[in-house]
Structure 1
Amino acid sequence: MLAQNRIAFKEWGAVCAALGQGRQSVLVRKGGIHEGQQGFRVDHREFWLFSTRFHQGAEQLQPEFSDLLQAPIAIEPASEKIMLALYAVVEKVAEIKDPSVLSRLDSLQVLNQETIQQRFEYKNPGLFVLLVRAYQLSQPFEVESETRYAGCRSWVELSQEYSTSNLTPILTDEQFAQQQQALEQIIT
């Protein structure tokens, strides 16, 4: 793991909450408007999770996960600050081109089938699934929001590097290995 990092990955607050609670270990990504012709790429294997609320709503989640919208990381902050509490390390990247695989992802993530299907079909059919090992800071911190962080993009470069010391894994090694095995069974 890097000792410091300034790269952040923008993701819905509810998904960040799910990662932070150990209810999810994958990120399902199509890409943002600003990703260009090439679409989404895994440019970084480690990153801070940058919680967003734009386009997010209970109607995009599996019903049993709507409570995630009330988690502190998923709620719009009162100030113009961004809370950094979670860090992720990408352990595997899979590109899904077969739509029959989509329903089997339900057990690994919190988005509902309609949302996953819409992402899959947007522009060119397909999705990226990133298996990530999530870590939490013992004491979350806030960074100032900047206009350059705005917009539909996956990656942002923070104005400074932040230490990754004091991180603890959300899932035990055994729990994470089970998630990894479950993803392998789905995508093979």
Structure 2
Amino acid sequence: MQSQNRIAFKEWGAVCAALEQGTQSVIVRKGGIHEGEAGFRVEHDEFWMFPTRFHQGAEQLQPGKSSLLNHPLAQEPASGKLNLALYSVVEAVLELKDPSQLTFLQKLQVLNEETIQQRFEYKNPGLFVLLVRIFRLEHPFEVDQESRYAGCHSWVELSQYFDTINLKPVLNPEQFLEAQQAFQEIVARSQ
């Protein structure tokens, strides 16, 4: 793990809450409208999670998961601020091109089938699924929101580097092994 990092990844606050709770260990990404012709690419293998609220709603989550919207990571922070509490290390990446594989994602993440299907079909059919190991800070870093962070793009370069030395894993090794095995089942079915 890097000792410091300034790269952040924008994701719905509800998904960040699920990652922090350990109920999700994947990130499902299509990419925003500002990703360019090539679309989303996994440009970094370690990054801070940048919780967003844009386009996020209970109707996009699986039944019984709307309480994630009440989690602090899913709430709007103090005016002009952003809390960096989660750090991700990418362990594996899968690019799904077959829509029949989408049903296998349901047990790995909190978005509902319709939302996953919409993401899959946006522009060119396909989705990236990132298996991530999530770490958290006991006391988040408070960062000023800057206008350059706005917009529909996945990656943000923060104004400064933040230390990763006090991070604690969300899942213990046995729990993460279970997440890896579930991810590998999807990989095996997609080949």
TM-score interval, smaller chain = over 0.9
Distance 1:150 1:177 in 2: 35
Q: Quick check: 1:97 aligned with 2:100?
A: no
Whichever residue aligns with residue 132 of structure 2, its letter is V
Query: Helix, strand or coil for the counterpart of 1:158?
Result: strand
TM-score normalised by the chain length of structure 1: 0.99
Shift of 1:63: 1.3
Paired residue total:
188
Q: Which runs of 4+ in 1 moved over 4 A?
A: none
What does residue 69 of structure 2 align with? 69
Shift of 1:127: 0.1
What does residue 17 of structure 1 align with? 17
What does residue 122 of structure 1 align with? 122
Q: Does the 8 A contact of 1:101 with 1:187 survive in 2?
A: no
Q: Quick check: 1:60 aligned with 2:60?
A: yes
What does residue 84 of structure 1 align with? 84
Q: Quick check: 1:151 aligned with 2:151?
A: yes
TM-score normalised by the chain length of structure 2: 0.97
Instruction: Provide the alpha-carbon RMSD of the alignment.
Output: 0.6
Distance 1:44 1:71 in 2: 27
Deviation digits for residues 134-159 of structure 1, max 9, x if unmatched? 00012112100000000000000000
Distance 1:10 1:26 in 2: 14
Deviation digits for residues 51-110 of structure 1, max 9, x if unmatched? 000000000000111100000010011311000000000000000011111011111000
Gaps of 5+ in 2: none
What does residue 7 of structure 1 align with? 7
Residue identity (%): 70
